[in-house]
A and B are shown apart, each in its own frame.
Chain A
Amino acid sequence: MEAVVEATDLEKVYGETTALSGASLSVESGEVFALIGPNGAGKTTLVRALTGTTEPDGGSARILSASPSAVDRDRLGVLPQEFSPPGRLSARELLAYYSGLYDDARDSDDVLADVGLVDAGDTWYENLSGGQQRRVCVGSALVNDPGLLFLDEPTTGIDPAGRRTVWRLIEDLAAGGTTVVLTTHDMAEAERLADRVGLLANGSIVAQGTPENLVREHGGSSRLTIETAADPEAFADLEYPVERPERGRGRSPDSAVVVRDIDPAAIGTVVDYLEARGIEYTELSWAEPDLEDVYLSLADATERERTDRLADGERGGSGQSDSDESDIAQAGETA
């Protein structure tokens, strides 16, 4: 398959803040690639480097067989993260406006229908709800029927129904051969839409692969969460490993113990164990590992490494800020 997006060792530094630190990825034609990672990981900066709206300090990037600054923009669709179009144009007028910037564009009413806003077409953008506004912005990236689409947090602020509209839209685009690169904090979104996922942390991609492979390699084992005040020591005789989740980390509540590597068919033995020992509990829940576990595992590990380095005074001249990456990007990027 032909690589439509190719980035090698991208570096970007804003002042003393490193936004990208050797980020590399390759996205093939027709693929949906999701970038996940904590705030400040460098997702937006990476999208900007790939779309030619920021100049990397090092490394190289090519999209659609050209450098990002020289790519044929008729083939490119981009939704910036904090995009806010003119407020006193209606949704229909805005889509017509962005259509008008291309030599060959779709009918703006068709795009309006795609993003599920036919009924709100004549409402000024500033009077739309936050979710509707975001859908107009998504539509603005689709007016030219792009072959390569970058969506930076496309469903942020959109309600569940609207989110599913956008998901179906992206699935339809992918089915039609459009290559999609999206960033998201919604693991369900990444898991549902992406052929491959890249986890960005501290400016570099620390893991990438299909959601299934990432879960298999980094997601850990299945878990049975028991909401109880009892200590893990109370489960010493249980034949499965039991742990108390670290406070503030992972997905289980603090007042819970987690039984690992347990098959659902064996849950009954755990219930029997609890009752036999009089251990009180309020809820049992079993789950297979998923992308969120991968995210928490790898992002936590990277964050801990960074914290340890800082604590050891090994930070050197540059480090990754905890601030939102859009703040980082706003620090100094002008033409």
Chain B
Amino acid sequence: MGRVGAETSAGWRSFIRRRTAVFFTFFFPMILIVIFGALIRTDPTGEGLFTEPAAYYVPGYLAVVVLFTPLSRMGSEVARHREGSRFEKLATTPLTRGEWLLAQTVVNAAIIGLASLLILGLVVLLTGAEIAFSPLLVPYILVGVVCFCGVGAMLGSYTDSQDGAVAASNAIGLPLLFLSETFISLSQLPGWFEPLVNLSPLTYFARGVRAATYSGAETSAVAGVDPALANLGILAALAVVAFALGARSIPRTD
């Protein structure tokens, strides 16, 4: 654990000293909440987008940081490491690729944990959402971070620059954000699209968080298991796969 601790400490210090990155990491979800929750507002009696009660969209707001922050941060972090031959250096130390990814995941979890608290507070304050602060929110956010850090590591490994990694994370993140039962319910999408929605790990995050926090959620049980727990289980399984693939994808050298 000493190696993971050293890597985590270095990663955390590096992050908090990039003030612009810190600012926009927290500003991005805040501005979305202000736009969607306070300016556009939800309209439970109307038609089209944002027709559900405000609490319905809480998983969507959380998904903004649980999905986007790991994708873009991990993608650009891996690209930065490649450009600085840092993986070549690390490959000659006892630190394994899995330990490196674990350390980066811990850093992301800390950042996203703080951002999530801010989001929950803002959502309640600005939109009047009535949500239950379920303890399951903690494992959902942690497991979601693990999952998308793995995906972000793959993006950084298979793109050839920081620019490429950020562009790829946006290209993948935006469709996932809107097509994973976060802001748009399944009933608003064509029927043939449902299998694709079920392929997105973010879908299980959204369904589970909604089941845990929103009393009006109509999330169905999975094989008879409470949806808040069942979706966490599915997300955890996907996270293990994504983390393993992400660690494996990290280059040993440039």
Chain A interface (Cβ < 8 Å from any Cβ of B): 48, 51-54, 73-74, 76-86, 88-89, 93-94, 96-103, 124, 140, 144, 150, 329-330, 333-335
Q: How far is the CA of A98 from the CA of B9 in the complex (A)?
A: 11
Inter-chain contact A85/B3, CB cutoff 8 Å: no
Inter-chain contact B94/A101, CB cutoff 8 Å: yes
Inter-chain contact A85/B93, CB cutoff 8 Å: no
4 closest cross-chain pairs (CB), A and B: A100-B6, A84-B84, A53-B253, A78-B92
| Distance to closest chain A CB from B117 (angstroms) | 25
Inter-chain contact B86/A84, CB cutoff 8 Å: yes
Cβ contact of B95, chosen from A53, A54, A81, A101, cutoff 8 A:
A101
Q: 19 other contacts beyond A82-B85, A86-B86, with CB at 8 A cut-off?
A: A73-B94, A83-B84, A83-B85, A84-B85, A85-B84, A85-B86, A89-B10, A94-B10, A97-B9, A97-B10, A98-B93, A101-B90, A101-B94, A103-B94, A144-B93, A150-B92, A333-B251, A333-B254, A334-B252
Inter-chain contact B92/A52, CB cutoff 8 Å: yes
> Looking at chain B, what size class is its interface with the partner chain?
20 to 34
Kindly report which residue of chain B lies nearest to residue A86, judged by CB atoms. Answer: B14
Q: Is the interface of B mostly helix, strand, loop or mixed?
A: helix
Q: How far is the CA of A289 from the CA of B9 in the complex (A)?
A: 52
Inter-chain contact B14/A88, CB cutoff 8 Å: yes
Q: A53-B88, A81-B85, A100-B2 are in contact. Are A335 and B250 (CB under 8 A)?
A: yes
Kindly report which residue of chain A lies nearest to residue B82, judged by CB atoms. Answer: A334
Inter-chain contact A73/B253, CB cutoff 8 Å: no
Inter-chain contact B18/A80, CB cutoff 8 Å: no
Inter-chain contact A333/B253, CB cutoff 8 Å: yes
Q: Which residues of A contact B17 (CB under 8 A)?
A: 88, 124
Most buried by B among A48, A53, A54, A73: A53
Q: How far is the CA of A76 from the CA of B89 in the complex (A)?
A: 11
Inter-chain contact B251/A334, CB cutoff 8 Å: yes
Q: How far is the CA of A259 from the CA of B254 in the complex (A)?
A: 48
Q: Does B157 contact A (CB under 8 A)?
A: yes
Q: Which residues of A contact B18 (CB under 8 A)?
A: 88
Q: Which of B6-45 contact A (CB under 8 A)?
A: 6-7, 9-10, 13-14, 17-18
Q: Does B5 contact A (CB under 8 A)?
A: yes
Q: Does B91 contact A (CB under 8 A)?
A: yes
Q: Does B83 contact A (CB under 8 A)?
A: yes
Inter-chain contact A89/B93, CB cutoff 8 Å: no
Inter-chain contact A334/B253, CB cutoff 8 Å: yes
Q: Which residues of B contact A101 (CB under 8 A)?
A: 3, 6-7, 90, 93-95
Q: Which residues of B contact A124 (CB under 8 A)?
A: 17
Chain B interface (Cβ < 8 Å from any Cβ of A): 2-3, 5-7, 9-10, 13-14, 17-18, 83-86, 88-95, 97, 157, 248-254
Q: A89-B13, A333-B253, A334-B253 are in contact. Are A83 and B92 (CB under 8 A)?
A: no
Most buried by A among B9, B248, B253: B253
Q: How far is the CA of A329 from the CA of B250 in the complex (A)?
A: 17
Inter-chain contact A51/B92, CB cutoff 8 Å: yes
Mind listing 29 A-B residue pairs with CB under 8 Å? A48-B253, A51-B92, A52-B92, A53-B91, A53-B252, A77-B92, A79-B89, A83-B86, A86-B86, A88-B18, A93-B10, A93-B13, A96-B6, A100-B5, A100-B9, A101-B3, A101-B6, A101-B7, A101-B94, A102-B3, A102-B93, A102-B94, A124-B17, A329-B253, A329-B254, A333-B251, A334-B157, A334-B251, A335-B252
Inter-chain contact A140/B254, CB cutoff 8 Å: no
Inter-chain contact A80/B9, CB cutoff 8 Å: no
Q: Which residues of A contact B248 (CB under 8 A)?
A: 335
Q: Which residues of B contact A85 (CB under 8 A)?
A: 84, 86, 89
Q: Which residues of A contact B254 (CB under 8 A)?
A: 329-330, 333-334
Inter-chain contact B251/A335, CB cutoff 8 Å: yes
| Distance to closest chain B CB from A290 (angstroms) | 32
Q: How far is the CA of A124 from the CA of B18 in the complex (A)?
A: 12
Most buried by B among A48, A77, A81: A48
Q: How far is the CA of A94 from the CA of B83 in the complex (A)?
A: 18
| Distance to closest chain A CB from B83 (angstroms) | 7
Kindly report which residue of chain B lies nearest to residue A331, judged by CB atoms. Answer: B254
Q: Which residues of A contact B157 (CB under 8 A)?
A: 334
Kindly report which residue of chain B lies nearest to residue A82, judged by CB atoms. Answer: B85
Q: How far is the CA of A81 from the CA of B86 in the complex (A)?
A: 11
Inter-chain contact A88/B13, CB cutoff 8 Å: yes
Q: Which residues of B contact A54 (CB under 8 A)?
A: 253
| Distance to closest chain B CB from A135 (angstroms) | 15
Q: How far is the CA of A79 from the CA of B89 in the complex (A)?
A: 7
Cβ contact of B88, chosen from A83, A86, A97, cutoff 8 A:
A83
Inter-chain contact A100/B3, CB cutoff 8 Å: yes
Cβ contact of B92, chosen from A76, A86, A100, cutoff 8 A:
A76
Q: Which residues of B contact A82 (CB under 8 A)?
A: 84-85
Q: How far is the CA of A48 from the CA of B143 in the complex (A)?
A: 36
Kindly report which residue of chain A lies nearest to residue B81, judged by CB atoms. Answer: A86
Q: Which residues of A contact B252 (CB under 8 A)?
A: 52-53, 334-335
